[in-house]
Amino acid sequence: MNYMTIIARGVLILPAILLMSALACGGDPTPIVTSPPVAPGLLRVASTVSPITSIVENIGGTRIHLEGIVPEGTNSHTFKPAPSVARILADTDLIVLNGLFLEEPTLEMAGANKNPDTVVLLLGDRSISREDWQFDFSFPESQNRPNPHLWTDPMLALRYAELVRDELVRLDPSNAEYYNGNFNAFQARIIELDRGIRAVVQTIPIDNRKLLTYHDSWAYFAKRYGMTVIGAAQPSDFSEPSAQEVAHLIDQVKEFDLPSVFGSEVFPSDVLETIARESGAKFVDQLRDDDLPGNPGDPRHSYLGLMLQNMEIMIPALGGDAEALAQFDPSHVFEGDSRAIYPQ
Ligand SMILES: [Zn+2]
């Protein structure tokens, strides 16, 4: 399909996004976004986890049809796409994944179903070399699969955005100026976020600049901002840690006198609560690594909002002050409403 020809003819139909309310188990109204029809002429892009979908959305804005695959609030590490996802992958021009072994079943499905011309972009694999792979408790070197959460370092998220920009420009050169403009705006926002995070981390007493989390997603963040990940509770097979491992973690929290330990929204677990109780640390269970805050359409429902909210939770819990980020704008950088599909 020649996008430029179709766009030039002016056959642009805005996709209708149907927002319906449904009752979630807690009784709160939760929006369900159904797939809008693809506007003729728009480049079609599929992406996996929500932080990556948000980065792609910031660059592609309203000029691409963007559909996320991994529903928010699910374990992306063990996620297996439903058979219906094969149709999205077969019907798209660009498939964006984190890579670094995070989305193997989706990558396999893409290989089996995609159009031969469809580009598969593995952002993590293209952003760092093997020497920069981080290994830890949940992602041990013995398995030769690195910690894949590169986006917790905003500068690596910027590298993701750059790779996406390059691919969008290559596939859809008629919108190159638009994609470049969005990239430049996103870059400015990332630099502001990076400076803000550096400033708020400095407010944490040096001895408290340590993280013990349930889900092990902070390796690249810690490396960039001079923090130490002293451990994680979740084993590499995403089961629960053994009694011995729990005892070891309790000893570590006591030894380092950590004020708080952190759980994750996606992985409710009693284990970290036990560790907190036994060690005297506070249990903070609201960190997020790949489900965005709020609902689609909210300004904070974005990669930038994810990082901002994590800082607002993490920094005070370690004895610091997140005030330097109070004015940070987490909304998307392009004009117009979000039209990306975030499966819930
Ligand atoms: Zn994760």
Residue 313 has pLDDT above 50, yes or no: yes
Q: How confident is the model over 220-230, as a mean pLDDT?
A: 96
Q: Which bin fits 10, alpha (ψ -120 to 50), beta or left (φ > 0)? A: left
Which residues, including other chains, have CB under 8 Å from residue 288's CB and lie 6 or more apart?
A: 264, 265, 266, 306, 309, 310
Q: Does the pLDDT at position 265 exceed 80?
A: no
Distance 290 CA to ligand 1 centre (A): 6
Confidence check: pLDDT of 21 > 70: no
What is the Å distance from ligand 1's center to 37 Cα?
Answer: 31
The region of weakest confidence among 15-19, 226-230, 254-258, 270-274 is 15-19
Q: What are phi and psi of 177, to 5 degrees?
A: -60, -40
Cα(40) to ligand 1 centroid in Å equals 35
Domains detected in the chain? 38-192 (3.40.50.1980), 204-325 (3.40.50.1980)
- List the shell of residues around ion ligand 1, using CB closer than 5 Å: 217, 289
Average pLDDT over residues 89-111: 97
Report the separation in Å between the CA atom of 170 and the middle of ligand 1, taken as the mean of its atom positions: 30
- pLDDT number for residue 35: 55
Which pLDDT does position 163 carry in this prediction? 98
pLDDT at residue 6 above 80? no
Q: For 68-86, b where at least 16 C-beta lie within 10 A, e where not — what string?
A: bbbebeeebbebebeeebe
Mean pLDDT of 226-250: 90
Paired tokens of 325: 């980020």
Q: What is the mean pLDDT of the chain?
A: 89
Distance CA 8, CA 177 (A): 16
For residue 267, report the distance from its CA to the centre of ligand 1, in Å. 9
Element (H, E) at 20: strand 19-23
pLDDT(299) > 60 = yes
Separation of alpha carbons 180 and 166, rounded Å: 9
Q: pLDDT tier at 37 (50, 70, 90 boundaries)?
A: low
What are the residues whose beta carbons fall under 8 Å from the beta carbon of 239, sequence distance 6 or more? Answer: none
310 C-alpha vs ligand 1 centroid, how far in Å?
Answer: 14
The pLDDT score that the predictor gives to residue 19 is 36
CA of 99 to the centre of ligand 1 (A): 12
Q: How far is the CA of 332 from the centre of ligand 1 (A)?
A: 23
Residue with tokens 């130490």: 228
pLDDT above 90: residue 18: no
Instruction: Report angle CA 274, 278, 282 to the nearest 5 degrees.
Output: 75
- Does residue 24 or residue 90 have the better pLDDT? 90
Stronger pLDDT, 102 or 13, i.e. the higher one: 102
- What pLDDT is attached to residue 268? 80
What average pLDDT score do residues 21-42 get? 50
Q: Could you report the per-residue pLDDT of 131-183, keeping only the tens digit for each?
A: 999 998 889 999 999 999 999 999 999 999 999 999 999 999 999 999 999 99
Say if strands 94-97 and 119-122 run parallel, antiparallel, or are unpaired.
parallel
Ligand 1 centre to CA of 216 (Å) is 7
The predicted model gives 311-324 an average pLDDT of 98
State how far the alpha carbon of 309 is from the alpha carbons of 144, 204, 314, in Å. 31, 17, 9
Q: Tell me: the pLDDT tens digits for 318-330?
A: 999 999 999 999 9
| Predicted local confidence at residue 60, as pLDDT | 98
Give residue 41 CA to ligand 1 midpoint distance, Å: 34
pLDDT the model gives residue 137:
84
